[in-house]
Amino acid sequence: MNNGAKRRVGILISGRGSNMLSLIEAAKAPDFPAQIVAVGSNKPEAKGLETASKEGFATFAVDHKLYGKDREAFERDLDAKLRENNVELLVLAGFLRLLTPWFVHQWQGRMINIHPALLPSFTGLHTHERALTEGVRIHGATVHFVTAEMDVGPIIAQGAVPVLDGDTPDALAARVLEVEHRIYPIALEAVASGKVHISGLRVKIDNSEHEGDSLIA
Ligand code: GAR
C-alpha cells in the first residue's frame, strides 16, 4: 500500500451496479488498499446508485441528457464532482457513456474499466451474442486501463469461461459476470497498491499473488 494510506476511489456506473457491489464488498477488508469515496452515474435512475446509497456511500448523478450534444460540458461537470470528492483512482463499472479524449487525458493512467469479453476480441456492444455467433469456445472479461480508443488499453486482468452447448447470450453473460465480480477486485487491489506498471500496451504486476488467476476456466 502507498504510504499506508488507502487510495481514494470513485466508481462510475450506468445501471444495476453489480460490479460496483463486488468492489464495495472487497473494499470492506481492513487491508484493502483502496476506499470507495463516491459513486456517480450519468443516469439518475441507475439502480446501482440506490444500492450504493443504502450501503452508506456518497452518490451523485450528472445526467448526460441535460447536456444535449455537448459531451465536454457533461464531462467537465462529471470531472468536477470527482475532484470535489478528491478521487484519485476512477473505476468504470458498467459506465456506458463514451468518453472524449479530454476526459481520458484528465484521468490517464488512473482510470480502469471492465469489459465483458476477452479483449482485444469483441470490443463494443453485444459481446455475448457475438461470441456465440463467432463460435468461440472460450469467452470472458477484461479489466484494462482506459485510453482514448474505446475498449483498448493496457490489460490488468482477464478471466475466462467456457462457452457451452446450448448457451444463450443471457446464460453466457451470467457466467462471465461471475468472473467479472472476481477479477475486478483483484485488479483494483493491484492498481491501488501501486504494484501495477504500464509499459506500452503491457502491464507488469509486482509480486502478484494472483498470477494464476489471470486465466480462470
Ligand atoms: C458488466 O457486464 C460490464 O462488463 C459491462 O456492463 C455490465 C454492467 O453490469 N460493461 C460494458 O459493457 C462496458 N463496455 P453491472 O452494472 O451489474 O456491473
Say yes or no: CB of residue 16 within 6 Å of ligand 1: yes
Cell digits of residue 203: 502491464
Best CA proximity match to 88, nearest among 192, 6, 2, 9:
9
Distance between CA atoms of residues 161 and 77, nearest Å: 38
Mean pLDDT computed over 206-214: 65
Active site residue 144: no
Say yes or no: CB of residue 115 within 6 Å of ligand 1: yes
Specify the pairing of strand 202-205 against strand 7-13. unpaired
Output the pLDDT for position 207. Answer: 78
- Whether the per-residue pLDDT at 209 is higher than 90: the answer is no
196, amino acid identity: V
Say yes or no: CB of residue 180 within 6 Å of ligand 1: yes
pLDDT in tens, 119-132: 999 999 999 999 99
- Whether the per-residue pLDDT at 215 is higher than 60: the answer is no
Bridge partners for 39 per DSSP: 11, 59
Q: Band of the pLDDT at 95, cuts 50, 70, 90?
A: very high
> At 127, phi and psi to the nearest 5?
-65, -35
Q: Band of the pLDDT at 165, cuts 50, 70, 90?
A: very high
3-state secondary structure 61-130: ECCHHHHCCCHHHHHHHHHHHHHHCCCCEEEECCCCCCCCHHHHHHCCCCEEEEECCCCCCCCCCCHHHH
Output the pLDDT for position 19. Answer: 98
Please tell me the distance between residue 151's alpha carbon and the centre of ligand 1 in angstroms.
12
pLDDT in tens, 42-81: 999 999 999 999 999 999 999 999 999 999 999 999 999 9
Atom of ligand 1 nearest to the CA of 115: 4
For residue 97, count CB atoms less than 10 angstroms from its CB and return exposed for 0-12, middle for 13-18, buried for 19 or more: middle
pTM: 0.95
pLDDT in tens, 167-202: 999 999 999 999 999 999 999 999 999 999 999 999
State the catalytic residue, choosing from 64, 115, 128, 139.
115
